[in-house]
Homo-oligomer: A and B are copies of this chain.
């Protein structure tokens, strides 16, 4: 990330801090530190003052690496946990912060970490503590051109992953093997990691978070594949449901219903529309068809550095300590279709990453939405060959 971009973000952050009465932020969430400083890693912190000064603390081993990535000068290395606490205390002093209010990430910090960061050896006694989640969400919700480029790239990688997953789908293959091929293809295309990979088959398509198991796909199973690669620090989100063989009329009817609802919500995406309106569009079509009791999960959420971030729908936002989101702005990125229809014995879900513009929504994940595997998945993969005994 270039220095100007980080400086501009810190300046905007300082404005929001002022409006919220925060004199400084003390961040430990990698996604937030990455956004503001150019580097976000585990076991590190960033302190940002209202007048735009930035200090970063990392394991002493990482100082050289961080210096190459982060865009600010105060970079301290610490030896261990106690050193981290002392390093934080040092920066409170260095920045003249002995009273006022510091913002902490209440949606990220555990009770234990909270205890450490507010320990008298870290934080001056007179400094009060407040949640700063809403500031980071507001900063990150509208993406700039560099971020959109990265999300587009992640969406292409997600498409590749889905293609590889579909290539592996056939009777006898385990869910973990479908995940194997999807992740392998995404890694080869540059994924640094995955925010979970879900592959659920048969009765498991009815569960909300289908972590892959060794269950073997059976003829006529449904298979739900949900991928979230991280590429150049940014995520994309794609989900497809496919049938191993010929779909039953029931499968087909419910799948077509969900797809119709998802596409109707996508068709409404543009700046000025509210999350609630999109949610209602999707839900109403499903409810009107008699499947209202089979909906679960927030149907729409934001995508960016995290695969699930602001804007979050009202209920989910509340649970995550965030306010209900404002109407959509240009260059917000959404995942549409995160809920599914869960009939009991099986479920279906289709989800895409969508970029909000003034006139409409541009769908960034383009892998075909077919309940039957098409030609595009017919390339024989390692797994496919194994399963065929070839």
- Name A residues whose Cβ lies closer than 8 Å to a Cβ of B: 41-43, 59-62, 64-65, 79-82, 104, 106-112, 114-116, 131, 133, 174, 176-177, 179-181, 183-184, 187-188, 190-193, 196-197, 203-204, 206-209, 211-214, 296-297, 315-316, 318-321, 342, 344, 347, 382-383
Contacts and interface: CB of A to CB of B under 8 A. Distances in A.
Contacts of A133: 112
A307 to B, nearest CB: 14
B192 A213 contact: yes
Given A111-B114, A114-B111, A184-B184, A192 B206 contact: no
Contact of A176 (B62, B115, B188): B188
Contact of A184 (B43, B183, B191, B318): B183
B65 A204 contact: yes
Contact of A60 (B191, B196, B296): B296
Contact of A61 (B108, B206, B318): B206
Nearest to A182: B187
25 contacts: A41-B207, A60-B296, A61-B207, A61-B342, A61-B347, A62-B206, A62-B208, A64-B344, A65-B203, A79-B296, A81-B318, A106-B115, A107-B110, A107-B112, A109-B110, A110-B110, A111-B111, A116-B319, A180-B184, A180-B188, A183-B184, A183-B187, A184-B184, A190-B214, A193-B196
A330 B350 CA distance: 49
A316 B184 contact: no
B64 A206 contact: yes
A301 B231 CA distance: 31
A193 B211 contact: yes
Of A62, A116, A181, A383, chain B has the most CB atoms within 10 Å of the CB of A62
Given A65-B203, A214-B190, A80 B315 contact: yes
Given A80-B296, A81-B316, 16 more contacts: A42-B209, A59-B207, A59-B296, A60-B342, A62-B207, A62-B208, A64-B206, A65-B204, A106-B111, A110-B110, A112-B133, A112-B320, A116-B319, A176-B187, A183-B183, A192-B211
B108 A110 contact: yes
Given A111-B111, A131-B111, A296 B61 contact: yes
A109 B316 CA distance: 16
A42 B319 CA distance: 14
A43 B208 CA distance: 9
Nearest to A319: B81
A255 to B, nearest CB: 17
Contacts of A179: 187
Contacts of A106: 110-112, 115
Contacts of A206: 61-62, 64-65
Contacts of A42: 208-209
A111 B115 contact: no
A314 to B, nearest CB: 10
Contacts of A79: 296
A201 to B, nearest CB: 12
A192 to B, nearest CB: 6
A315 B81 contact: yes
A168 B307 CA distance: 29
A318 B344 CA distance: 45
A203 B109 CA distance: 31
